[in-house]
Structure 1
Amino acid sequence: MEKVTAELPSRRAAPLRTAAFRRYMTASLISATGSAMAPLALAYSVIDQGGGTRALGVVLATNTVPIVVFLLVGGVLADRVSRSRLLFLGNLLAATAQGALAATVATGHATTASIAVCGFVSGTAVAFTVPAAHGAVAQIVPADQLQQANALLRLPDNAVKVLGPALGGVVVAVSGPAWALAWDALTFAVAAVLLLGLRLDAPVAVASALSDLRKGWAGFWSRTWLWTYTAAGTVLVAAWLAGFQLLGPVVAAERYAGARDWGLVQGAFAAGLLAGTVVCLRWRPYRLLAVAVVACLPLAGPLLALGYGLPLPWVLLATLLAGIALDVSVVAWTSAFQQHVPKGELGRMSAFNGVGERLAIPLGYLLTALAAGVWDNRTVLVACAALVVAAAVLNLCVRDVYRINALRN
């Protein structure tokens, strides 16, 4: 395969004309076919072996802790070694973890502890792939094509996620979660091989890793728009995940038709993500960061709908709208980040942002699990929705949010 260098392709060429981008997009699509089923399969792996809200909270928190712990290491490495090699190793590690989890679930030996251990390994893999992914896309695609490239990357992924959760719900309901987890492991393995073939050049590193980390922190703190967005995300992401991913399956099991209806909810969310991607392909907002923040507000909708026990169609509608808004937010934020951070710092800035946004997630899962034992699910879900709204509104009060805009020729 032709080696990809730091030299960017012609600005007139669309992202899909670049062979490396097509390979990266294919790997992402294949991995998405398994990842679309994984959250539901993981939740019901815990529920099927007798675990409740607290056990699921422990598992989800254990998956997040290594991301927080190792993400800075992954960020430094992403600015020092080949990003394609990091992506290969991360996906291979995730394939191993999911394969082991599928085997324990299939043989009936799964426990909360064993599921948590596999989740810890998967989280470690994420810590090394996320910073490398941000830098890899910016290394392959010109700056003025990044929004289009980010939207294109999410288009097939979100298309798979429309049917994936619903199909996963049927698979889990009929044959149990092991098959869905095994498929996830296989897709990670195939993606790993494809990503290794990118052969991206390693960034030029002239200082020590510790010096890079210190400079990275100074650069992160000097960008007010970056650390304030990250601080708001610390609260918002934790509240959203604790309400939707943790309490959502539990509420579906108690008030709705369990895995089947939760699969429909996940499918509605994925359909919204797909629709949001289509919006991003046609709409190129100038105020990228402001759009990213405002688009977080609809995430409160599904939490309120589930909390008040609305009929399933209303839950599906609220989840659909949240998915549309979230995808617009993700594409706008990713494009703003990649355009306004130098390529040599993308790994570390991505790591600091990722650590910040994930820092409260384990605590959020654990506190939500404990709160569910004291208050009813409605009270906890409404509280999570209020935190989502408050974090977004406060972030909109930051002046620099309106200064990080799209770079155009």
Structure 2
Amino acid sequence: METAARVPGTRTAPLRSAAFRRFVLAGLISATGSAMAPVALAYAVIGQGGGAGSLGLVLAVNTVPTIAFLLVGGVLADRMSRSRILLVGNLGAAVAQGALAAVVLTGTASTGSIAACGFLSGVAVAFTVPAGQGVVNQLVEPGQLQRANALVRLPTNAVRVLGPVAGGLVVALCGPGWALAWDALTFVIAALLLHGLRLDATVAVDGVLGALRSGWSEFRSRTWLWTYTLAGTVVVAAWLAGFQLLGPLLAARQYSGAGSWGLVQGAFALGLLAGALVCLWWKPYRLLAVAVCTASLLFLPLTAMGLALPLPAVLCAALLAGVGLDVAIVAWTTAFQLHVPEAELGRAAAFNSVGERCAIPLGYLLAALAAGAWSDRGVLLVCAGVIVAATLLNLCVRDVYRVNRTTPG
């Protein structure tokens, strides 16, 4: 097993590093299970007699602990070896998914047992997300960060195109329990790969509460960071409300139902894959401004569906939205890694993630309330307008144009 370390001044391509290849492979293997898990989870709930209420409860129980423990995960990511946190987090997720697979396969699953496993899985995510955000910059030189971030996302985006289809086939042929079992196994394999990274830990000089206070102070002092997080929370809430919640309903009424919605989802996934490819050669100087602008393309499919445009137009809009979102993610991640000190990356990532995670229930709640007053198409257009407005307001922040590429390449 090698100890990952950067060699100052090198221009080696990321994939020539065995440690980076190990990290990418771990993410790819884990993604194959995670892409199947939502389909399997839904049918596991249905299989034990649950309906929309039971599934909503399970999803909520999975989300709440992630939000609750994210800040603790951020503190630990700045105090401990991030590779060790990822190892433990992936093993914890493997235990949770393995237990869920066991109760489903043995026919003893209930809403309570499924929710309990989801709770444990949510806790694991709270620790792996902040730790994962600070790994790439420990493996590659600053000049290779954008390419490395794109390479990390490229295989996982490819899996997103085929994963749900494969998950549906596995669930249909073998049952949801076996798809969940595969998800658990992928976490184990990923944990073993990540164990080989053995990244050094940052030396901690204060307690947990002191680390949280100093982390918040640093987060708040960077105007570009908290304004992007705030705008991102609004954008994510509007996107989830419009696309994920109301999108399938509009597809059922305006187009051909599940088949057309599957095409829209596929176009969006292909866009994500194309966006990662774009980031391999396009290296914009104004990283944060590009992230803000390209993320705003999410308004396109909402507008297309809200205006009841033909399905081909919706597919083109979803494709462009996917491209824009992945370019935004890579540009944002690169800017974040370049402009936040390594010793603060975990806590800063945690504060940013809390905002995005809170957008999930917020978006669904607001969409449910608005649907009672307006038509679904009207709500979609409002969501599109909210995304555009949040983008324009964020572009009014002067610091957005100061967070730029600091190295060539």
Q: Common fold, TM-score beyond 0.5?
A: yes
**Contact map agreement 1:61 1:366 (CA 8 A) in 2:** no
1:135 corresponds to:
134
The separation in 1 between residues aligned to 2:357 and 2:174, in whole angstroms, is 33
The equivalences for 1:354-393 within 5 A come to: 354-369=353-368, 372=371, 376-393=375-392
Greater displacement, 399-408 / 352-361 = 352-361
**1:190/1:264 CA distance change after superposition, 3 Å:** farther
**Contact map agreement 1:57 1:369 (CA 8 A) in 2:** no
Matched, 1:198 2:201: no
Task: Spell out, residue by residue over 1:94-126, the C-alpha distance to the aligned partner (whole angstroms, 9 max, x if none).
Answer: 222223333444555555544443333222111
Matched, 1:298 2:300: no
1:125 corresponds to:
124
Deviation at 1:202, TM superposition (A): 1.2
2:398 corresponds to:
399
1:275 corresponds to:
274
2:223 corresponds to:
224
The separation in 2 between residues aligned to 1:175 and 1:382, in whole angstroms, is 41
**1:130/1:181 CA distance change after superposition, 3 Å:** same
The equivalences for 1:228-243 within 5 A come to: 228-243=227-242
Residue identity matched to 2:207: S
Residue identity matched to 2:126: A
Matched, 1:3 2:20: no
2:165 corresponds to:
166
1:73 corresponds to:
72
1:152 corresponds to:
151
Deviation at 1:343, TM superposition (A): 0.7
2:180 corresponds to:
181
Gaps of 5+ in 1: none
1:28 corresponds to:
27
TM-score normalized with structure 2 length:
0.90
The separation in 1 between residues aligned to 2:121 and 2:323, in whole angstroms, is 27
Gaps of 5+ in 2: none
2:285 corresponds to:
286
Deviation at 1:201, TM superposition (A): 1.3
The separation in 2 between residues aligned to 1:104 and 1:264, in whole angstroms, is 33
**1:193/1:257 CA distance change after superposition, 3 Å:** farther
1:325 corresponds to:
324
Matched, 1:207 2:222: no
The separation in 2 between residues aligned to 1:246 and 1:96, in whole angstroms, is 30
Query: SS of the residue aligned with 2:164?
Result: helix
2:36 corresponds to:
37
Deviation at 1:219, TM superposition (A): 0.7
The separation in 2 between residues aligned to 1:338 and 1:249, in whole angstroms, is 36
Query: SS of the residue aligned with 2:158?
Result: helix
TM-score normalized with structure 1 length:
0.90
1:337 corresponds to:
336
**Contact map agreement 1:164 1:267 (CA 8 A) in 2:** no
Q: Percent identity?
A: 69
**Contact map agreement 1:8 1:139 (CA 8 A) in 2:** no
The separation in 1 between residues aligned to 2:108 and 2:256, in whole angstroms, is 26
Query: SS of the residue aligned with 2:210?
Result: helix
Residue identity matched to 1:155: L
Query: SS of the residue aligned with 1:296?
Result: helix
Deviation at 1:308, TM superposition (A): 5.4
Query: SS of the residue aligned with 2:283?
Result: coil
**Contact map agreement 1:9 1:141 (CA 8 A) in 2:** no
**Contact map agreement 1:65 1:362 (CA 8 A) in 2:** no
The separation in 1 between residues aligned to 2:97 and 2:385, in whole angstroms, is 34
**1:378/1:107 CA distance change after superposition, 3 Å:** farther
Task: Spell out, residue by residue over 1:333-355, the C-alpha distance to the aligned partner (whole angstroms, 9 max, x if none).
Answer: 00000000111111111111111
**Contact map agreement 1:159 1:274 (CA 8 A) in 2:** yes
The separation in 2 between residues aligned to 1:164 and 1:85, in whole angstroms, is 28
Residue identity matched to 1:131: P
